[in-house]
Structure 1
Amino acid sequence: MKGEHEKEESSAPRPTHLRTGSEQPVDPEDLVRLSGREPTPERIEKARRELEEHGAAAVERYLP
């Protein structure tokens, strides 16, 4: 009954609280945490450079 299952999914309400990574400002510490690491001065500095160079695309590496 694949057809019924697909119908249930399409009629289910979509979550409104989901966002992509570039929809809001991200600071270097946020970027480090998105990578799954603890912020250290070196990692924060690297993240700052990534954000300066790539902008929102730096965040998209970790979030959809």
Structure 2
Amino acid sequence: MPTSQPDASGPSEDRATPDALLHTRTGTDVSPEDLVLASGKDLTPKSLEWARRKLAEEGPAAMEKLLP
């Protein structure tokens, strides 16, 4: 009876994405729409206003705080 082997296509520690490749900044400006969507909220006038205020106060770091 054959023994089962781990699936080579499955996730493993050897296949984890290196930290240096995990980032949220794309080199482009963060829009209020981007911030709303990253926060999991619906695009509404109220949520867009929230995002505008947050970007004005924190700049692009607002996105970094939402996404690791």
Both proteins in one fold, TM over 0.5: yes
Length-normalised TM-score, structure 1: 0.64
Report the counterpart of residue 34 of structure 1 in structure 2: 38
Number of aligned residue pairs: give it. 55
Q: Using CA pairs below 8 Å that are at least 6 residues apart, which structure has the higher relative contact order?
A: 1
Report the counterpart of residue 64 of structure 2 in structure 1: 60
Q: CA-to-partner distance for each residue in 1:3-44, whole Å, 9 max, x for gaps?
A: xxxxx72xx6x57x7532474311001100101111100110
Q: Among the aligned pairs, what percent are the same residue?
A: 49
**Unaligned residue ranges in structure 2 (runs of 5+):** 1-12
Alignment partner of 1:48 out of 33, 46, 52 = 52
As a proportion of its length, which structure holds more helix?
1
Could you say which structure has the larger radius of gyration? 2
Length-normalised TM-score, structure 2: 0.61
**Unaligned residue ranges in structure 1 (runs of 5+):** 1-7
